[in-house]
Amino acid sequence: MRKQRTIQNEVTASGKGLFSGVDAKITFKPAPQNKGIVFLRTDVDPPVAISATVDSLITKDRRTALGKGELVVEMTEHCLASARALQIDNMYIEITAFEMPGFDASSLDYFKLLRKAGICEQKAVQPKLVVKEPVFVSEGDATICAMPSMSENLHINYDLDYTQHTGIGRQLYSSDITEINFERNLAAARTFLLEAEALQFQAMGIGKHLGPKDILVINSDGPIKNSYRMPDECVKHKMLDLIGDLALVGVPLVANIAAYKSGHSLNQKLALKLRNQYLRHIQMEKTGTDALLDIKRIQKILPHRYPFLLVDKVLEIIGDQEIVGLKNVTYNELFFQGHFPTTPIMPGVLIVEALAQISGLLFAQRLENTGRIAVLLTMDGVKIRKPVVPGDQLILRAKTKKVRSRTAQCRAEAFVGDSVVAEAELKFMLMDD
């Protein structure tokens, strides 16, 4: 275990946003221990602080954006990758616009700036997440998995598969993420686009200030009016992005990451799952339970009480998009007295009710829904696939499909082990308590 670190001196730089072309000034400042990395939008009064963790994620194509309310900071990944490589745990990043400077579309300038600021140790010990069981996410044929590591570092294996594009091809790279390796092999790797993508973006008014000399635009013959800094620059930039996205876990990782065709969206999903794993670990140390929400906290959100509270604890929360909870089914349940005395089976309607309750906990993760109750409106595609009996552990999973100001919709499933026992599309009215 090591001590926490921040920067010694204030440093400032300016540049244009890579996507928007907006002028932005950034100032890196030391931060106290246990603060983490915090972006400060100083172009508003009072300044708004945005924490560099998955809790602040905002969905944007091809970049990592963080936000609070209506204010965002975009293109944070190159800066955060450099901070993680230099093991900077606490830092304020003041910014005067909504997008970080793009510089040369790599992390090199950020790395040099932060090293110039100097690094100093603080008194507090820096916690870390040691991955002890595989965590896997996928989208189509793209996959990424975090596995236990034999070393004390974050190790990444990245497989970039552009075999259909001869200008890039298939590239593989593997490395421990240390300061030396990052500086020598990763920091200078630049963002790249296929020629068709670049034309599409400029038609949409994105990146109009850029030309082929400012960013890698690749056709079937390779970079247009440019050249690679290294033969495998594309895969190294993908790894750089991944390091920046995984920094949103909020603590250093000790893991072996295997990625295939992974981009920001998939990276962020993995970071969300790892953040939940870390929070469960902290919760276990504090309370002896791995619940992100225990029964006391659930009762502060849901109005249900005995015998109708059907969620015992919440194990995983992925922003406001997905939730996983648990209901222990025992023979002492009130409904088993009559359903059925000689062959006890949990009523299917109560399994659906449990799914509705876990969905209500999911919608409550949105700040604007605090104090609201999710009242069930409709149930579509309901299927009760297998009986649930005493001794079963019912895993409840809900994924957001649509949330509006007064209504919300989700896809919900209940499992026993790996088997789906019930599923439904649920729609709710969000009502003031």
Catalytic residues: 339
**Amino acid, single-letter form, for residue 385:** R
Q: Indicate the pairing of strand 393-403 with strand 322-328.
A: antiparallel
335, HSE (Cβ side, Cα atoms, 13 Å): 18
C-alpha–C-alpha distance, residues 353 and 374, integer Å: 12
Euclidean distance between CA atoms 136 and 259, whole angstroms = 10
Q: For residue 30, which amino acid is it?
A: P
Reference 263, options 170, 151, 138, 375; nearest CA is 138
Q: 230-261 in b/e burial notation, b at 16+ Cβ within 10 A? A: eebbbbbbbbbbbbbbbbbbbbbbbbbbbbbb
**Residue 154 CA to chain centroid, in angstroms?**
17
d(CA 38, CA 24): 17
Cα–Cα nearest to 346, from 421, 420, 294? 421
For tokens 């059907």, name the residue: 310
- Name the DSSP class of 164: T
Nearest-angstrom CA–CA distance, 308 and 299: 12
- Cα-based distances in Å from 40 to 13, 14, 34, 74, 82: 15, 15, 17, 12, 18
Q: Which secondary-structure segment (H or E) carries 84?
A: helix 77-85
Spatial contact of 358 and 410, defined as CB atoms under 8 Å apart: no
